[in-house]
């Protein structure tokens, strides 16, 4: 199973910016923990970060046919980007949105979420641990998809034997 983690604008500044909101961990540390979890669970993982909306759209689109799932923190683009929303919808992959802070308890403009309706699930407000929760969730989703495919195969074999 291949998982792509897409990080949006300013997340490259984690550990520096607004530590009272986002904490002291750097993005590289979060990715190292995610990679360790992926390795322990037989998952391939790829990381991508960009401050540019179009590059994020391109990366989501590249996941089509190449990845089994996406974890995305679109950061500020969560509240404004129809383009990222449309890309997530187009690739039709299990996608979990992550936000380090609880966006529902912050400024009014952060309560508008353009991408949540096209994501499988959202994890908000758990700090960097939210990425771990998203990976556990994605592993569960992938196991359920695999089980459903296996059940379909068994049904097809049973039908062809009749």
Catalytic residues: 22, 99
Q: How far is the CA of 115 from the CAs of 16, 34, 112, 146, in angstroms?
A: 26, 22, 9, 25
How would you class 127 by CB atoms within 10 Å of its CB: exposed for 0-12, middle for 13-18, buried for 19 or more? middle
CA 62, 150, 35, 70 dihedral sign is positive
Contact 103, 112 (CB under 8 A): no
Contact 133, 152 (CB under 8 A): no
The pair of structure tokens assigned to 69 is 């799932």
The maximal CA–CA distance of the chain, rounded, in angstroms, is: 65
Phi–psi pair at 106, nearest 5 degrees: -110, -155
Is the CB of residue 1 less than 8 Å from the CB of residue 54?
A: no
């Amino acid at each position: 199973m291949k998982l792509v983690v897409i990080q949006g604008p300013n997340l490259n500044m984690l550990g520096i910016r607004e530590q009272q909101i986002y904490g002291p961990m750097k993005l590289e540390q979060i990715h190292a923990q995610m990679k360790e979890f992926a390795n322990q669970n037989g998952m391939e993982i790829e990381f991508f970060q960009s401050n540019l909306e179009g590059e994020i759209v391109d990366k989501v689109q590249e996941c089509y046919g190449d990845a089994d799932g996406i974890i995305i923190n679109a950061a500020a683009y969560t509240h404004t980007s129809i383009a990222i929303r449309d890309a997530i919808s187009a690739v039709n992959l299990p996608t979990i949105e992550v936000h380090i802070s609880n966006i529902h308890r912050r400024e009014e403009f952060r309560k508008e979420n353009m991408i949540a309706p096209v994501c499988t699930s959202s994890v908000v407000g758990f700090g960097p641990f939210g990425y771990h929760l998203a990976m556990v969730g994605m592993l569960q989703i992938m196991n359920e998809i695999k089980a459903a495919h296996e059940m379909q195969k068994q049904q097809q074999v049973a039908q062809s034997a009749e």
